[in-house]
């Protein structure tokens, strides 16, 4: 055998071995929260399994324990997850603590452009430091906090007449936060079909993030800002502005005058239960649940409708949603990146939306038929245009828990004033940023 033949055979053998290595079937584990969209993702991922030969396993954790469970996993360098659909606020910690793989080179090599995704989702779910072109996740699930209501009750003549008499205006979807409260108060304690119903289910949960996600829905619409100048950590005057105080007082009034009794520690699950059991006229929750709500045989279909978080001084919604990241401790990063590449395809994104996931891909969102594809699709587009998120700092958990405590102390436990709650919140946050050397 000549040298050239030998070299050719060797090269072929190497190529075959290499090909065999890259196409080796892997068992991938994707971690996420246990909720409706996760089931849709299981369905969607079957296509990936067929195409790639990899097997997908899923680790879904209920929302109240999701952050605890996953952040412990990341902080201990655990290898449970190869892919993680982590909350937007984790991006800072994920990037700075080395939990997430930086995806810039991968995106460049595979021709994945962040310009193909909605800018708000790229900013919130993918970048760290914020707004820079350093990507640690691909936008996976767009989401925001919004409202749904009993369309059948709103349409009843006797209720409409009573509302007109009580308020002097027609009963319709609220155009601002004050109208929202007025409608909720109108329904509070009202007898409908022989049953006492209540105004609205809002978020009041203490342990994880519930009340913060609820109260920011009001704060943002009053014009709340975390800093006077973005990136300066200069909080006095912004966090405790007169508008913020007014918004917090509004949320407390909402809690006290328009929610069901015993609604002191409630989040997503309780909101859904309250609505589906016919206890409330309206409820706040994440868009992610809306397909399931619409499909509900008792309170869905023509009995339900949806509206975006009403503006007050400005239009705004609390951001939910997550990006998908590759975990740096995974031994199967190549296969995990294959999944990301597959997931980023416009055809897969279209199917994702079809199955109940909220795609953030422009090809889906900008499709002329998108707004009419579901009764809540138009609201989703409107909400995503004005979303705001909580701090995404590496110390976000500390910042979040401080807000949970201060807000719950004021709203639910009725301790102190709104001004005091926000002043104390600034003290807590200042201490955190001082410890971090950012102040």
CB-nearer residue toward another protein: 27 or 434: 434
**Shortest distance, position 69 Cβ to another protein, whole Å:** 11
**Shortest distance, position 323 Cβ to another protein, whole Å:** 20
**Shortest distance, position 48 Cβ to another protein, whole Å:** 31
Cβ atoms of 192 and 176 within 8 Å: the answer is no
**Shortest distance, position 104 Cβ to another protein, whole Å:** 21
In 23-62, alpha helices (H):
36-52
Contacting positions for another protein (CB under 8 A)? 67-68, 71-72, 74-75, 93, 97-98, 205-207, 260-265, 394-395, 397-398, 401, 405, 408-410, 412-415, 435
Q: How many CA atoms lie within 13 A of 259 on its CB side?
A: 23
414-419 long-range contacts, CB within 8 A, separation 24+: 414/252, 418/245, 418/246, 418/248, 418/249, 418/252, 419/240, 419/245
Q: What radius of gyration do the chain's Cα atoms show? A: 24
Cβ atoms of 220 and 387 within 8 Å: the answer is no
CB-nearer residue toward another protein: 366 or 415: 415
CB-nearer residue toward another protein: 39 or 395: 395
**Shortest distance, position 89 Cβ to another protein, whole Å:** 13
**Shortest distance, position 406 Cβ to another protein, whole Å:** 9
**Cis bond upstream, residue 409 (ω within 30):** no
Closest CA to 142 of 313, 422, 314, 362: 362
The sheet carrying 322-326 orders its strands as 55-61, 27-33, 83-87, 322-326, 138-141
CB-nearer residue toward another protein: 34 or 381: 34
* Cα–Cα separations (whole angstroms), residue 340 to 138, 143, 182, 192, 352: 7, 19, 46, 49, 13
Helix (H) or strand (E) holding 306: strand 304-308
**Shortest distance, position 257 Cβ to another protein, whole Å:** 15
CB-nearer residue toward another protein: 194 or 261: 261
CB-nearer residue toward another protein: 265 or 345: 265
**Shortest distance, position 408 Cβ to another protein, whole Å:** 5
CB-nearer residue toward another protein: 122 or 421: 421
The sheet carrying 304-308 orders its strands as 190-192, 195-201, 280-286, 145-150, 304-308
Q: Which residues of 230-252 are buried (b: 16+ CB within 10 A; e: fewer)?
A: eeebebeebbbbebbbbbbbbbb
CB-nearer residue toward another protein: 130 or 206: 206
Closest CA to 172 of 181, 183, 162: 183
CB-nearer residue toward another protein: 23 or 72: 72
**Shortest distance, position 281 Cβ to another protein, whole Å:** 16
């Amino acid at each position: 055998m000549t040298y050239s033949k030998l070299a050719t055979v060797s090269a072929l053998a190497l190529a075959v071995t290499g090909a065999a290595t890259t196409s080796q079937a892997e068992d991938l584990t994707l971690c996420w929260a246990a909720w409706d969209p996760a089931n849709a993702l299981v369905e969607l991922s079957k296509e990936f399994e067929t195409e790639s030969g990899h097997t997908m396993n899923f680790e879904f954790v209920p929302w109240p324990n999701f952050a605890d469970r996953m952040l412990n996993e990341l902080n201990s360098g655990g290898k449970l997850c190869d892919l993680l659909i982590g909350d937007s606020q984790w991006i800072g910690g994920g990037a700075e603590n080395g939990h997430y793989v930086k995806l810039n080179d991968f995106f460049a090599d595979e021709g994945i452009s962040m310009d193909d995704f909605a800018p708000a989702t790229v900013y919130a779910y993918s970048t760290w430091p914020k707004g820079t072109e350093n990507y640690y996740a691909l936008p996976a699930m767009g989401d925001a906090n919004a409202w749904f209501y009993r369309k059948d009750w709103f349409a009843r003549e006797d209720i409409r007449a009573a509302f007109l008499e009580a308020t002097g205006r027609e009963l319709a979807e609220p155009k601002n936060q004050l109208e929202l409260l007025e409608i909720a108060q109108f329904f509070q304690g009202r007898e409908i079909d022989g049953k006492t119903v209540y105004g609205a289910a809002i978020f009041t949960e203490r342990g994880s993030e519930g009340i913060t996600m609820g109260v920011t829905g009001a704060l943002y619409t009053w014009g709340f800002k975390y800093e006077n100048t973005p990136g300066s950590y200069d909080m006095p005057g912004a966090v405790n502005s007169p508008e913020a105080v007014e918004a917090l007082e509004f949320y407390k009034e909402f809690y006290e005058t328009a929610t069901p009794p015993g609604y002191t520690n409630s989040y997503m699950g309780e909101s859904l239960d309250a609505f589906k059991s016919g206890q409330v006229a309206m409820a706040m929750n994440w868009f992610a649940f809306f397909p399931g709500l619409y499909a509900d045989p008792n309170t869905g279909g023509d009995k339900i409708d949806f509206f975006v978080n009403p503006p007050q001084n400005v239009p705004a919604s609390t951001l939910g949603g997550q990006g998908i990241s590759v975990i740096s401790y995974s031994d199967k990063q190549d296969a995990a990146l294959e999944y990301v590449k597959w997931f980023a395809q416009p055809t897969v994104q279209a199917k994702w939306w079809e199955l109940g996931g909220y795609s953030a891909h422009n090809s889906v969102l900008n499709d002329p038929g998108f707004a009419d594809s579901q009764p809540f699709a138009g609201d989703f587009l409107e909400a995503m245009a004005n979303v705001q998120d909580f701090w995404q700092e590496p110390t976000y958990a500390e910042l979040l828990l401080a807000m949970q405590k201060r807000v719950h102390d004021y709203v639910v436990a009725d301790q102190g004033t709104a001004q005091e709650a926000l002043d104390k919140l600034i003290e807590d946050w200042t201490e955190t940023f001082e410890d971090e050397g950012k102040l």
